[in-house]
Every structure is written in C-alpha cells, then in structure tokens.
Amino acid sequence: MRIVIAGGHGQIALRLERLLARRGDESAGIVRHPEQAGDLLAAGAEPVVCDLETASVDDVARHLGAADAAVFAAGAGPGSGAARKETVDHAAAVLFADAAERAGVRRFLIVSSMGADREIPLDTDPVFAAYLHAKTEADTAVRARTALDWTVLRPGRLTNDPGTGRVTLADHVEYGSVTRDDVAAVLLALLDEPRTAGRTLELVNGPTPIADAVGAPA
C-alpha cells in the first residue's frame, strides 16, 4: 500500500511510518517545514512539504493521487492557541478529507480525541475546550461523507511509555491512557480492516491484543 499521512512529523505519524516501512509499504508524510524531511526519511517515509493551513484542495489532492489510504494525524500541538486549534485540528482535517475525495482515495483515518462529541465542562481550560470543539467539528465533517470509507480513532491520554500491544477499542470506553506506540499499531491494523469503516472508536490500553481488538471492536 501507499499511505499519505497529514502531520507526517508528529509523534504518532513517525511511529506509523516506521511500522509501514518495516512491512514493506510506502508512506508519504505531509510536513510544513523542509528541515523535518530528514526525520521522515529516517523513518522510511517520503517527505512532502505542504502547509495544510494555506494549501488549496487541489494542491493536497495532487499529493494523494497515488495513495491507497489517507491518515489525518496532524494537530496544532501543545503551546498553540485556540486559533490554531481551529485552523489545524478542524480546518486542515476538512481540507484533507476534501482532497482525498477529489483524488478518489476512499480509505480515510482521522486521529481525534476522547472527549470529542461530549459536553465540555464549564471549568475546562479555554484552549483545551477549543481543541475538543475543533476535533468534534472535524469528526462531524468527516463522518458526513459518503465518498470516504472513514474511521475516526479517539485515543485517550497519550503517553510515551513503550507499547504494550494490548488495548481496549470500542464505541465508548472508560477514560484512560494509551501509548503512542499502541496508537500507531492500531492505525496500522485499521488500514487492513475495512470492516471498521463507518465507525468512531475510542482507544485506551487494555487487555486485548491489537489484532483481536481491531478485528472485532466492541
């Protein structure tokens, strides 16, 4: 397969790129900064410099032309304000979905967050509330598309602990943490499992081997 990943220099994306390269698949990671190219090459991915905050749908669709699947793993990241949550976590996700449709790429994964679609408590930090709102809006826009075989993945609190290979994956799970290693491994497995299309799945570490969890999510 050839997989195009938005946010190709992100921590989850780099892990996914390594997994894809290890099994002989091709990946291209979309990045904003040319100086990030070396890290992608080291991970076995093709770097594609394209700013999703300023690019047109046609610009991005050209990069998706030969893809078998698209993965949106971009995010404004820590330290960014509410405005960039909107332009990256929401608007760039919509742009990437538009481009996938235009390029005829049906399989589409989007990395969201647990807490999206849920009522945001009034005492929530304003920037984090903007992040959850942006994720909710992006998920809603993706799930409305009939031309995409989409899956929305909503991990819990992300950690850099070593992957366990075991998770809980279901429509709704109790809030918890999950390693970035395991999120990447779940994304890889989702790419191989078309029966998860049309599902919004929450993810935390748990007792079930990843292959089993993805093969039969609760």
Report the catalytic residues.
131
> What span, in angstroms and rounded, lies between the C-alpha atoms of 91 and 81?
15
The CA angle 93-178-110, to the nearest 5 degrees, is: 15
Which tokens in the block code for residue 103? 């390029």
The CA angle 37-40-41, to the nearest 5 degrees, is: 85
What's the DSSP call for residue 194? G
Long-range contacts of 211-217 (CB under 8 A, 24+ apart): 213/167, 213/168, 213/169, 213/186, 214/169, 214/186, 214/189, 214/190, 217/169, 217/170, 217/171
Which tokens in the block code for residue 7? 């946010």
Which tokens in the block code for residue 213? 């969890």
Which tokens in the block code for residue 195? 């029966």
Give yes or no for a contact between 40 and 99, defined as CB atoms under 8 angstroms apart.
no
- 150 forms bridges with which residues in the sheet? 108
